[in-house]
């Protein structure tokens, strides 16, 4: 299942030639890093698969219905919990992020674990490459960590350390 998720995510992100914003690398390097972090704390195949798939509904033509057909309800539910639900019509960035935070707050501890891994990987990239945006992003992540406490304790501690180190600079 994990290999199938990796292949599906790779294919979907490549189908739109999605690239990492700062490095220009194929986007799949991000889901790969998230999956590696998740696999470092659990052998739960559904969680690791969801880590590979966590951005496909948000960023590619893939739909949640397609994820359910390909991977089943358990993984589709995790991907749904990981997918931002706000739209540009919901207002400015702060308003949209508040909607997404409430969605994440209602997520399962398993989804919150994947979200922590996502936060960890993105925080490194954004802090290093975009100090101006990092101010906004890290403030959002500080608020998000409040609702991610039910995620894996090791990843939660790593995420807290990154956010705290950012503010100690």
Catalytic residue numbers read 58-59
Return the structure tokens found at 79: 């991907």
Nearest to 49, CA basis, from 6, 82, 110:
6
Neighbouring-strand partners of residue 26: 19
Where do we find the tokens 């490194």? Answer: 124
| Backbone dihedral angles phi then psi of residue 26, each to the nearest 5 degrees | -55, 140
Long-range pairs, 16-24, Cβ under 8 A, ≥24? 16/59, 16/60, 16/61, 18/59, 18/60, 20/125, 21/125, 21/129, 21/130, 22/125, 22/126, 22/128, 22/129, 22/130, 23/125, 23/129
């Amino acid at each position: 299942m994990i290999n199938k998720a990796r292949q599906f995510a790779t294919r979907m992100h490549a189908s739109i030639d999605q690239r990492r914003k700062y490095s220009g690398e194929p986007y799949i390097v991000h889901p790969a890093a998230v999956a590696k972090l998740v696999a470092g704390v659990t052998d739960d195949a559904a969680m690791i698969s969801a880590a590979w798939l966590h951005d496909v509904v948000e960023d590619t033509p893939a739909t949640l219905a397609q994820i359910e057909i390909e991977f089943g309800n358990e993984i589709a539910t995790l991907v749904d919990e990981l997918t931002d639900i706000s739209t540009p019509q919901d207002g400015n960035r702060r308003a949209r992020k508040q909607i997404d935070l409430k969605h994440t707050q209602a997520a399962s501890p398993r989804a919150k674990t994947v979200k922590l891994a996502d936060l960890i990987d993105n925080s490194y990239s954004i802090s290093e490459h975009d100090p101006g945006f990092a101010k906004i992003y890290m403030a959002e992540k500080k608020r998000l960590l409040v609702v991610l406490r039910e995620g894996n304790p090791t990843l939660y501690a790593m995420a807290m350390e990154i956010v705290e180190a950012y503010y100690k600079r």
